[in-house]
Amino acid sequence: MEEDPQSFDQAIDQITEILNGSNVYFGHGAPEAPSEALWLIAHCVGISPVQALDHLDEPYDAVAFAKALKIVEERIKTRTPLAYLLKEAWLMGHCFECDERSIIPRSFIAELITQGDLDDFLPPDGKALDLCTGNGSLAILLSLNYPDIQVCASDIDLNALALAQKNILSYELSEVIEIIHSDLWIDLPEPNEENRFDLIICNPPYVNQTTMQKLPAEYLKEPWLALDGGEDGMTLIRKIIQDAKNYLNERGALVIEIGNEYDNFINAFPELEVQWLEVSSSNRQVLLILEENLPQ
């Protein structure tokens, strides 16, 4: 039986030890056991993970720790990502409601948005599209960081869009973020001078077929539709790139996250001129294509 910890730091250490002694897989909002333990310990006393870092030497509540132990037990038993158990996900310091209706937000595009790396493509009164928006987190980050632009958020999955709508309402952004139900470009408004975008961001399904068959159990809790990228991971990305130019203003850009599919992307688009963007994971997971370099 676990002893009651004397401090936040000790509570985190105990949960970390339990997680490291199990067969769980990380990467759904926390890269390793200590980060997930911090998140859980913070949640159980109603504060953010960042806030918890300011209380590491302070006493930790025994009742909250008992709650944390029950949650971590379920986490290990069911291999359910912590985000789904807590019904929340953190991205760049912002909390989003999260459940099995959408993929857990973890896109590295969030770093580019919050660090200002996309400033050149988001002029005042500009317009941006978050294609494959999921729970709406990237669209919300765009609006929070660029309050003068218009944002559209689209997805094929109505369940994901319902969750996105809840998150948008919670951030009081329903007046500036438009939600569109669309299978990629199919149901978006016909592009014209009035409704093209300065920037399109997209974290699409990109996992290749071989990898899909080997995914850890945690991924199987997420919507298959949000992960499956076809045989080489490029099925939807081909469609996105093929028609993106029609929806971009001159000097606009398309930003796509491709995860670990760099080799498959290069094989699929050997002649395409792209810029690889540096994010915390690597410089081979997020790319930018200028409007002028997209296929006609």
Tens of pLDDT, residue by residue over 197-250, are: 999 999 999 999 999 999 999 999 999 999 999 999 999 999 999 999 999 999
pLDDT band (50, 70, 90) for residue 1: very low
Q: CA 243 to CA 72: how far, in whole Å?
A: 45
Q: Is the pLDDT of residue 255 over 90?
A: yes
Distances (CA, A) of 101 to 125, 185, 222, 223: 32, 22, 8, 7
Tell me whether strands 94-97 and 88-91 are parallel, antiparallel or unpaired: antiparallel
Q: How many helices (H) and strands (E) does the chain have?
A: 11, 9
CB 274 within 8 A of CB 237: no
CB 111 within 8 A of CB 288: no
CB 123 within 8 A of CB 198: yes
244: tokens are 């993106």
pTM: 0.96
138: tokens are 């990237």
What is the pLDDT at residue 2?
A: 60
* Mean pLDDT rounded to a whole number for the chain: 96
